[in-house]
Amino acid sequence: MRKTSARLADGREIVYYDESDHGDRAHVDPRPLPARPAGSEIRLDPLTREPVVVAAHRQDRTHLPPDDRCPLCPSTPERHTEIPAPSYDVVAFENLFPALAGDRGRCEVLCFSDEHDTSLARLGPRRIRTVVDAWADRSAVLSALPGIEQVYCFENRGPEIGVSLHHPHGQVYALPFVTPRTRDVLASARAHREETGGDLFEDVLAAERAGPRVVLENGHWTAFVPEAARWPVEVHLYPRRPVADLPDLGDAERDAFAELYADLLARLDRLFDLPLPYIAAWHQAPLHDAEARSLSRLRLEVFSVRRAPDRLKYLAGTESGMGVFVNDVAPETTARLLRKAGR
């Protein structure tokens, strides 16, 4: 993989990840862009002690433009986009409308392909492997920025999830705090270690591998529907070897993930015979807490709001108001259907 870094017209960084040595990356961004927005405000909820990001400048961000106005497609002589090059494999750049910026963190967009109408599921293992390398590289680079406590890589797919751009892409957030979800899970891992002397994630993985909810696995990864799945479609992917974050993955583990994830994404789209809207969320360890890193385990959690071909799950009052989820689909049923969706 060849990595090339450049700058957009307003000074934002753009990084190309190419699968070959072909491709000119010296194209200049000629757009007369406005000044970059000021940083967001981070407020603390006094009741929960959880951070809330206030980013008022995002109210007017681009939302589902027509295909011929997509800002993530390559530039042409007639139209200049966020990517100055006429083609690319994978590219990362600082978000034009960041939720976090400056000394409040950093937000990047990671485009999976220059093809507007494709998806990560259709791109196959080789491109997924390139994306994994890009995720790992961005995680390492952003982890070194001052004030960053955690790096979060994720993909939102489908208008039902709330995506603002159809082009296949994900995002990488460099956070100046440890997320509430991470803190809650670390508390459980700490309590499990104190009560049993064991590793929470190792024990969960062992229990799931022995049960009925494994969807598929290989020598390095296991994909399973968790016993207490909150969403009608929810799959967790654990590496067999306990690692803290994406940069820790070796070549064999990255190759194995790409093969398994390509298979899983294809099954998800076959589940209801239509493209499945989903969120794919990488959970990485906090950066500067040795105990937290020893308690953590890298994992990918993929979940969808679709519960039937013509039905979506909307958060009910108990879920939105109290955080108590009610799942209308048994996790064992989802696992069985995903196993049947293999080819």
Tell me what pLDDT residue 63 has. 81
> What pLDDT digit, counting tens, does each position of 129-153 carry?
999 999 999 999 999 999 999 999 9
**Helices within the chain (DSSP H only):** 120-143, 180-196, 200-209, 251-271, 290-295, 317-322, 331-340
| CA–CA separation, 340 and 144 (whole Å) | 43
Domains detected in the chain:
215-340 (3.30.428.10)
pTM, whole model, 2 decimals?
A: 0.96
169, 220, 236, 283: the catalytic one is 169
| CA–CA separation, 260 and 129 (whole Å) | 11
Tell me what pLDDT residue 60 has. 78
C-beta of residue 84 within 8 angstroms of C-beta of residue 28: yes
Q: For the range 110-114, what are the long-range contacts, defined as Cβ-Cβ under 8 Å and sequence gap of 24 or more? A: 110/134, 110/135, 110/138, 110/153, 110/169, 110/170, 110/171, 110/172, 111/72, 111/83, 111/167, 111/168, 111/169, 112/168, 112/169, 112/170, 113/89, 113/168, 114/73, 114/74, 114/83, 114/87, 114/88, 114/89
**Annotation marks residue 167 as catalytic:** no
> What pLDDT digit, counting tens, does each position of 194-220 carry?
999 999 999 999 999 999 999 999 999
Average pLDDT, the chain: 95
